[in-house]
Amino acid sequence: MIRTIVVDDEQPARELLREFLAAHEDVEIVAECANGFEAVKAAGQHEPDLMLLDIQMPKLDGFEVLSLLDRAPIVVFVTAYDEYAIRAFEVHALDYLLKPVSEERLARVLDRVREQLARPVPPSTGGLAAALRAKPLQRIVVKDDDGSIHVVPIGKVDFVEAADDTIVIATAGNRLRKQQPIGELAGDLDPTRFVRIHRSYLLNIDRLERVELYAKDSRVAILRDGSRLPVSRSGYARLRELL
């Protein structure tokens, strides 16, 4: 059986997919989700083989949902916007369906899904998360250990600190931990807004108050809220270049 999750914020759109899928005896719908949060949760619970994923949804869009999945199923995007098609392939989606959805097209897509599942080695999802982020990033999505999801608009990030293989995203009065190398995040952010001031620190330059000399060749950035962050020599050079 192809265990499938259908994600769309419009009920009639889910209904149509359900009706079309009913014709395929080897497809079982294990969950129907009306938004991205439900989708991430359901994917964790059901570990589906296939996800039919709408892109335009409130709070978390389809790409963000995909980035939050620990174990990505085969993904087929369903959207009215064909300009997403190229991006869908960039994120290694198996295929995409345009609305209004055609029954025959869905059948062909399912054939590809069956082929994919029949392969001895399931498709690698490595690098998926990195590839799918729209650049520059507008929001960072984080999933807590308890499964709750945080959406942080870039403008609210004060700085990002690296700690081993995780990063800590600092916003006003909150710290969010995420499993991601700091260099990867730095590459996704707008380089005119975020500066790598130190090997372990990414700073939102809007938050910078001033830079002080701390010791010979060593400086400290003082933020508007009073926080102090180390600035390396090359970090200082990058900062000066930007300012």
Binding site residues, other proteins, CB under 8 A: 9-13, 15-16, 19, 35, 37, 56, 58-59, 61, 80-81, 98-101, 138-139, 151, 153
Nearer to other proteins, 19 or 209 (CB): 19
Q: What is the DSSP letter of 128?
A: H
Count of helices and strands (H, E) across the chain? 8, 15
Quote the least distance from Cβ 98 to other proteins, whole Å: 7
For residue 32, report the phi and psi dihedrals to the nearest 5 degrees: -120, 125
Quote the least distance from Cβ 104 to other proteins, whole Å: 13
Quote the least distance from Cβ 33 to other proteins, whole Å: 11
Report d(CA 70, CA 200) in Å as an integer: 25
Nearer to other proteins, 5 or 33 (CB): 33
Report d(CA 36, CA 67) in Å as an integer: 11
Q: Taking the chain, what is the end-to-end CA distance rounded to the nearest angstrom?
A: 58
Sign of CA dihedral 79, 48, 90, 159: positive
Nearer to other proteins, 33 or 239 (CB): 33
Quote the least distance from Cβ 27 to other proteins, whole Å: 16
Nearer to other proteins, 43 or 141 (CB): 141
Alpha-helical runs (H) found in 72-226? 85-90, 103-118, 128-132, 182-188
- The first and second tokens of residue 135, run together, are 């650049």
Quote the least distance from Cβ 36 to other proteins, whole Å: 9
Report d(CA 140, CA 119) in Å as an integer: 34
Which residues is 150 bridged to in the sheet?
142
Quick check: 162 and 201 in contact, CB under 8 A? yes
Chain centre distance of CA 202: 19
Nearer to other proteins, 137 or 186 (CB): 137
Quote the least distance from Cβ 113 to other proteins, whole Å: 21
